[in-house]
Structures are given as C-alpha cells and as structure tokens.
Amino acid sequence: MTSPTPTGQPGLAATVGLYAAARVALVAAVAALLLLAGVPLLISLLVALIVALPLSMVLFRGLRGRLDGALNEARERRGRERAALRARLRGDADAADEPPAASDEPADREADRGQH
C-alpha cells in the first residue's frame, strides 16, 4: 500500500500495521499462557491486556522508534505540502512553478482523481 520512504524504511501504514500486529500477538500470547494455566478466558484476556502494555514498551522499543520516525516524517511531509498549497493559494510565483507533491493518503488520492 505505502511505498518505502526515501530512507528505505517502510511507509507509515506498514509501520503502524506491524506495531499493531505485534501488540495483538503479545496480548494473544499472554492470554494463551494464562489459559494453559487454567485461568478462565475473560479473566485471561483482561489480565493479558493489562500485562501486555508494559511488556510491549520494553519488548517493542525498536518498533516504537520506527513508528515515531515514520510519524515524524509524515508530519514533516504534510507540513511541506500544506506550506506549498498555501503559497500557491496566495499566488506566490515560486510556488506556481512547483508541481504538487503526490500524497499517499487514500482520501487525497480520491480528491486528486476528481480534479483531473
């Protein structure tokens, strides 16, 4: 869905998906261990949710760093796109020479299709 960034890292959607999948897998693993120990399903799921939060902060430190980098990069890119759009709307001559940057957001792609 998202192409790798210029730094070679996966895009924001891939990074968020990987982090979410890792968190869900950790909850499932803790719940499975509790189920094997004879704890009822509902109790094991609730305890797994509580235990998985601090565990994920320790175990997935690298993933959280990648997610933070991807979020910062997306925020900077959106800021540049917003500044370029504002400059074009003001009628700045140098902004009119720049082509609009393509966005990887699905909503932006829909809006782009409607303008052509």
Give residue limits of the domains in the chain.
12-97
Read off the pLDDT of residues 33-43 as tens digits, 9 standing for 90 and up.
Answer: 999 999 999 99
| Whole-prediction pTM | 0.63
Read off the pLDDT of residues 66-93 as tens digits, 9 standing for 90 and up.
Answer: 999 999 999 999 999 999 999 999 988 6
Confidence at residue 11, expressed as pLDDT on a 0 to 100 scale: 83
In whole angstroms, give the CA distance from residue 35 to residue 39: 5
